[in-house]
Structure 1
Amino acid sequence: MPNGQPQTEPLAEYLDGLARLGGAVSAVEVTVADPRQVRWRHAAGYRVGGEPLQPGARFDAASLTKPWMATLALALAAKGELELDTALREAFPANGAWIGTATLEDLLRHRSGIAAWTPLAARLGKRLSDARELAGFLLSESLWPKTGSEGRELATYSDLGFVLWGLAAERATGKSLADLVDLHVAAPLGLAPLGALAGNPPPEQIVECRLDNWREVELAAGQDLKLSRQAPFLRGVPQDGNARALARLAGHAGLFVTAEEMLALGREWLHPGRVLAPEAVARALAGGGPYALGWARQSHDGSSGPVFSSGSFGHTGFTGGSLWIDPERQRIVLVLAHRLSSQLDMNPIRREIHRLAAEI
């Protein structure tokens, strides 16, 4: 059902259809913006139960947390607190001497060679709460199937790489990721504390997520590990299993965000100045391959679809969201969504949203 004033635009009708009974999502909010204004916004579905979703609610960001961490990484590098070219052997001198020349930047570009994912609680148990134990495990040889030039040539999208970068940031600064995000990113963007909400977001602000952990159960089985199937989690609890297990904001997931917060981040990358230097953004987006620093690159068959220009960059979140930024057209398209099935491929839906948004 449509929320707010009736809208007849094709994109509004499409979103309303996605959120109807038997549809793909329980809730979706789409924003089309340029550097100065919101051009269009529509929310469909329900925040919780039968309560209609209104614009401005807070969604589980899932991997849309990663662009925030990339922004933090550039901010810390600019202040000299944690350089991007720091070798992992330097960041963690007690571990991983065999890894070679992999750097923190390699982690953020998904080219370090570290494995994509493993269920950390099943692997580490109670040791997961010890940052040194976690770092040692993440730097163990079994999680690095590719290293050196092979890792750089064969990019592997990795949650674990961002978890490891987060540990390096906390180790170097003596502060939690939640505090670092709020101090170096949220505050300069004029936002209320964001990282602090990750551990205890007010349930009344949160959009219900009805996804269970089926996908993680399947992935764990592929590693000969057994996870129990669990029902959807309470509002304010991350859907991501490793973020839940870490019980704090992690480098790969854990934030709960509103559209305005995500737009503020997107606009900073489109027109840097408050947090990022233009030169840092240019360097982060430079290079080839499927990934920039903290972002994916445009591809016709990926989440962006063909309507974005070739220099566009963006990211997705497992719960259903995406953020795509087109510097050539000066356009941002943000999707915040909670899908209903982890077996659903959201990319065709994202591409259709982008196609319809191009007409606005």
Structure 2
Amino acid sequence: MRFSSLLMAMVLVGGCSGTPASEAQTPPPPAAPAAGTPPVLATVNGSPITEDDVRKAAGLEIARLEEQLYQLRKQQVDELVARRLLESEAARRGQSVEALEQSEITAKAGDVTEPEVDAFIETNRARIRGDVTQLRPQIREFLQQQKTDARRTALVDGLRASAKIDMRLEPPVPFRATVDIVGAPVRGTTTAPVTIVEYSDFHCPFCRRVQPTLASLLQKYPGKVRLVYKHLPLDGLHPQARRVSEASWCAAKQDKFWGFHDAVYADAGTDASDATLTRYATTAGLDAAAFGACLASPETKAAIQRDIAQGEALGLNSTPGFFVNGREVRGAQPIEAFESIIDEELRGGRR
């Protein structure tokens, strides 16, 4: 039922009530919340539970779901926009959409060649499972789809450039987690307007893989970005990583965390023996006696456990995990994913 019809039905029902209109007692509407006041979602014995309370308890999980919903809606909007652009172009040419796609997409995408299949196999040989000969038809089909998708994207992008499109779908306001970085190692200008907090595991291969990306960001945004390191060793996956974190914390006590950090990530091993840690310490230029005493201290273990507890409280259960001015970035993302948020933050951010 449309709202106007529903409203009329409500009026008619009210008019048929046993109470004359002049005598009807209309309860006052609930007071609207003051501007800026979070909506009340429930009350317990008169005590309100507000939207802010829920966000504090599960803000990151809610933000992830809101972002997934936005991406789903954006994907569908983009597809509908593309379809209407193709329909408009086909009508302009006096042909069907299918004919347009055949001439401008399928024909111009071209066929996949044998050398292209060979190149794909060579590039991805380490990840291919099974008989390569039997997989060639599937590989060819995959590459053909890539070519077709690329050509369709190019065609639609060209049509979009000359069309008048008013995109009104807005992304969700980003959730900003509050991350405790007191005492954590910092690389870059300490007063930089953008802070990247990295929760990492020294034995995580993805954490190692993202290090060049982080170094490039610091180089690209001098004075504008700083990197803060937090420990999140995953004991179930990397049982010796916690000890490396403890050793790096001891390096930080001598103001040489980053030298130790770089020595660890330069090594592809997952060993945390005394000999290995000593080698890292030597590379970083640590005082051996002070390093050994620190490594045996209960304070060291407590410090790493504190980082782990903070990471888990934020909802992290994998590494690497990042917060860019409190905005979550999950996993070893390409540099463009970080640049997009950094640039937005430098422009003032989405509020």
Q: TM-score, normalised by structure 1?
A: 0.21
- Larger Rg belongs to: 2
Q: TM-score, normalised by structure 2?
A: 0.21
Q: Which has the higher helix share?
A: 2
